[in-house]
Amino acid sequence: MKSLRKTELAVIGGGPAGLSSAITAMRQGAEVTLIDRDPVLGGQLIKQTHMFFGSKDQFASIRGIDIPSELIKALEEGPGKVKVELGTTVIGYYDDGVILMEKDNRATTLLPQRIIVATGAAEKMLPFPGNDLPGVYGAGAVQTLMNVYGIKPGKRVLMVGAGNIGLIVSYQLLQAGVEVVAIIEAAPHIGGYLVHASKVRRAGVPIYTSCSIKEAFGRESVEGAVICRLDENWQPLPGTEKTLELDVICLAVGLSPLTELLWQAGCKHKYVPELGGYVPVRNEKMQTSIPYIYVAGDAAGVEEASSAMIEGKLAGLFAAASLGYDHDLESLAATYRKELEELRSGEAGSKIRQGLAKLIGGVSVAS
Amino acid sequence: MLLAKTGVPAASDLAKVIPSEERLKKGAVAIIECFQSIPCNPCQFACPRGAIKEFADINDIPKIDFDLCDGCGTCISKCPGLAIFVVDATYGAEEALVKIPYEFLPLPAKGDRVAGLNREGKEVCEAEVVRVQSAKGLDKTPIIWLSVPKDYMMEVRHIRLKGGAVS
């Protein structure tokens, strides 16, 4: 019988959080295996053609698409080696700590001593008649088509959701030469950064707040949509319906953590709407209710890439420390925590702060 | 706040960031149209003259010392929100110079006449492209120098190329 492959630390997901986890743990001295289902590292960064916010430590002013190469360079620089398994999906977790992986239709197993789950988030869907018509896309799909494969999703787009993703993808659609008919937002205010909103407004795209989609229609695919205004209780206002002709409806209505593996492993979860729905309970070391499983990035609560990278560093740091690689632990942890606090300290971070207070306050986790 | 409903800054927002008449008469100056506290600070490191004041907190709203700013425009392409513009009211007798970030293709060429768009994307005047900066150091955020009638120097913040190109 073939002996079971082992690794000290398996990092599942090679986006901003997973890459940062792997680099940090490797630098601390841990032997790391980084696993990603895509053929390239970078996760969602490979579609982010806009410049990042945040501070220099989190690559502010650098375009998202240029960040993976920086992180991969750090990964390759060492001093340690990280084994990278691409095109590999982790599909299961066994009680004895073995993870099951699929690559090229073949199943393999790996026994890690510690696991960091950095699997990101999934887009939320919106229920409305016609939402199953071809032409209704998630914003992530539109970004993948345009920015990874160079394919326009259509000619005339209705963007549903004025959070950062809705605003940024609208701007990228304009850059690709696609018309954005309108951005509609059910909330009474624009949720994304107002500078992003101003960018699409001056390019001629209207933003309607307190407005929602009532239905999509079309024979074979989307031919149009009916939108309507909402009252202060988020109920449709009769008589305000408006019909728009378009061939794409792009949904940017939020994300929820992608944590099937953590559910399967039996990690405790808690429903925290501010963090995107069910999120794994974890402590300040990014450690879940199962002590040898850590979590980082959107899987730990939906936020954004800058904070995901710092959470990744924290998870990598503490996972490595628990393996005995605890060089400079306290001072590094203090530095990363301070960076996270700074990012979350303003008005824009208030929702995250509320969510984290609900999640971390009052739950004891073995350390 | 109207801005948070529409994405278009109100006159009261702009009044907080537009330099005085007196300063405008002295020449080119940067205007930062950033009105919301967000965790973002590259602008404070962008200015070679230190005119963008140091932040106490990464969530601070940027402040420019208009006496130190000479309107060079280095900060324009460093702002992830594309919220920085330069206005030179002394450019000509009738025209002012407005520098805008512009991340669309095709780029206009020097001498092109383009539609000057306001913050709502409405055409308010014709503008002439005076220069196109697109050096590698700008990292894909070219800067377009526009000559616009002085009455519109605080209005024009985007352009539409004539001949059907998208915004």
Would you state the pLDDT for residue B162? 86
Whether the predicted pLDDT of A281 surpasses 80: yes
Question: Pick from B89, B112, B143: which residue ends a domain?
Answer: B89
Question: Chain A within 8 Å of B2 (Cβ-Cβ)?
Answer: no
Q: What is the mean pLDDT of chain B?
A: 95
Are B132 and B152 members of one domain? yes
- 8 Å CB contact of A61 and B141: no
Contacts A177 to B, Cβ<8 Å:
166
Tell me, yes or no, whether B81 and B154 share the same domain. Answer: no
Angle at which helix A305-322 crosses helix A16-28, to 10 degrees, equals 30
Final residue before a domain boundary, out of B89, B111, B141: B89
Chain A interface includes B104 (CB < 8 A): yes
Q: Which of B36, B46, B58 sits opposite A194 (nearest CB)?
A: B36
Q: Are residues B19 and B77 in the same domain?
A: yes
Greater model confidence, A346 or B82: B82
Total residues found in chain A within this entry:
367
Residues of B in contact with A198 (CB under 8 A): 3, 7-9, 33, 81, 83, 119
Residue B14's CB is within 10 A of a number of other CB atoms, namely 15
pLDDT band of residue A362 (cuts 50, 70, 90) is very low
pLDDT at A365 (0 to 100): 42
- Per-residue pLDDT tens over the stretch B93-136: 999 999 999 999 999 999 999 999 999 999 999 999 999 999 98
Does one domain contain both B98 and B145?
yes
Which of A61, A177, A193 has its CB closest to that of B38? A193
Domain that holds residue B56: 1-89
Alpha carbons A318 and A235: distance in angstroms, whole number:
47
Question: pLDDT per residue over B51-76, tens digit each?
Answer: 999 999 999 999 999 999 999 999 99
Residues B81, B95, single domain; the answer is: no
Are B69 and B118 members of one domain?
no
- pLDDT digits over A133-167, tens only? 999 999 999 999 999 999 999 999 999 999 999 99
pLDDT tens digits along B135-162: 988 889 999 999 999 999 999 999 999 8
pLDDT of A366 > 50? The answer is: no
Evaluate the omega torsion of the peptide bond into residue A79 and state whether it is cis, within 30 degrees of 0: yes
As for how many domains chain B has, the answer is 2
User: What proportion of chain B, given as a percentage, has pLDDT over 90?
Assistant: 92
What is the predicted pLDDT for the residue at A333?
Answer: 98
- Binary contact (B39, A50; C-beta < 8 A): no
Residue A247 has pLDDT above 90, yes or no: yes
Cβ separation A201–B6 shorter than 8 A: yes
Among B89, B113, B129, the domain boundary falls at B89
- Please answer whether residues A21 and A114 qualify as being in contact, where contact means their C-beta atoms are separated by less than 8 angstroms: no
Same domain, B48 and B118: no
C-alpha neighbours within 13 Å on the C-beta side of residue B51: 19
Residues B132 and B157 in one domain: yes
Could you give the ipTM of this predicted complex? 0.96
A144 CB contacts (<8 Å, ≥6 apart)? A47
Long-range contacts (CB closer than 8 Å, 24 or more residues apart) made by A285-289: A285/A314, A285/A315, A285/A318, A285/A367, A286/A116, A286/A311, A286/A314, A286/A315, A286/A318, A287/A318, A287/A365, A287/A367, A288/A117, A288/A262, A288/A365, A289/A365, A289/A366
Structural tokens at position B88 = 């030179």
Contact criterion met (CB below 8 Å) for B117 and A174: no
Q: Which residue has the tokens 């730990």?
A: A300
Q: Please indicate whether, in this complex, the C-beta atoms of B39 and A347 are within 8 angstroms of each other.
A: no
Q: Are residues B95 and B162 in the same domain?
A: yes
Q: Between residues 7 and 36 of chain B, which touch chain A (CB distance below 8 Å)?
A: 7-9, 33-36
Domains in chain A (CATH in brackets) are 6-122+255-360 (3.50.50.60), 125-251 (3.50.50.60)
When the pLDDT of each residue in chain A is averaged and rounded to a whole number, the result is 95
The identity of residue A91, as a single letter, is: I
Low-confidence winner among A218-232, A339-353, B29-43, B52-66 (lowest mean pLDDT): A339-353
* Percent of chain A topping pLDDT 90: 92
Kindly report the nearest CA distance between residue A307 and chain B, in angstroms: 11
Cα distances from A198 to residues A115, A347, B81, B158, in angstroms, run 42, 19, 9, 11
Q: Spell out the residues 6+ positions from residue A150 whose beta carbon is closer than 8 angstroms to its own.
A: none
CA B56 to chain centre: 24
Q: Are residues B60 and B129 in the same domain?
A: no
B55 shares a domain with B80 = yes
Can you tell me the distance from the alpha carbon of A229 to that of B18, in angstroms, rounded to the nearest whole number?
35
Q: Distance, in angstroms, between B118 CA and closest chain A CA?
A: 6
